[in-house]
A = this chain, B = another copy of it.
Amino acid sequence: MFSQSEENYIKAIYHLEVSPNKGISTNAIAEKLETKASSVTDMIKKLSEKELVAYKKYQGVKLTFHGRKVAANIVRKHRLWEVFLVEKLNFSWDEVHDVAEQLEHIQSPKLINQLDALLGFPTHDPHGDPIPDKDGNLNMIDKKLLSTLEINEIGLCVGVEDSSSEFLQYLDKKNIELGKTIKVIEKEEFDNSVIIEINQKRISVSNKIANNLYIKTS
């Protein structure tokens, strides 16, 4: 249907569209895909030709309805594969992304439907990100960054903003896992670090951590 490159571009644009706002800039796409702006312009023209994006010179780019469906399906596959790798093949959450980046391009509706069933129709991937359904709908849960919580607020770890190996391994080392309960004990004005209670212990986490960990307050 679409080439691997085309799919990667579509997905990048999808992830850059936080709300149905302005067009996405050529540079933003280039940065996300670690490519050059000129290459992005070239590809955008092709995607526009195929009506996956709406594009007017110098005005950035937006996904069409169809483009958004295509993107959601790629994201669906990516996240289902990540769940598979963790649940069935004993990968840890910091190892799955690169492999999923390849697996997301496999074309077989039956494969992905059966995988979904094998995994028990999961709603979120190992990093807490929602898995789009067959129609591309995803149910966002209401979560906030740890850094935005008030003192004494209690919540559940439900996701990460940064999915880099380094960050995930750091969380592992600190025994911070999705599903665990966190309470904010103290917020340090000086460096914006936060003292939290988790695993019946009090630990201090830097602002960088607090800015990349999502909490669901009930």
Interface residue ranges, A against B (CB under 8 Å): 85, 88-91, 95, 98-99, 102-103, 106-108, 110-111, 114-115, 118
Contacts and interface: CB of A to CB of B under 8 A. Distances in A.
Q: How many copies does the complex hold?
A: 2
Given A114-B89, A115-B89, A106 B103 contact: yes
Given A89-B111, A89-B115, A90-B114, 17 more contacts: A85-B111, A88-B118, A89-B110, A89-B114, A89-B118, A91-B110, A91-B114, A95-B110, A98-B108, A99-B106, A99-B108, A99-B111, A102-B106, A102-B107, A102-B108, A103-B106, A106-B106
Contacts of A98: 108
Contacts of A118: 88-89
Contacts of A111: 85, 89, 99
A118 B85 CA distance: 11
Interface of A is mostly: helix
Pick from A85, A90, A103, A108 the residue with the most CB of B within 10 Å. A108
A92 to B, nearest CB: 10
Nearest to A88: B118
A17 B103 CA distance: 30
Contacts of A99: 106, 108, 111
Sorted nearest first, the 3 A-B pairs with minimum C-beta distance are A89-B114, A99-B108, A102-B106
A99 B91 CA distance: 23
A103 B107 CA distance: 10
Nearest to A115: B89
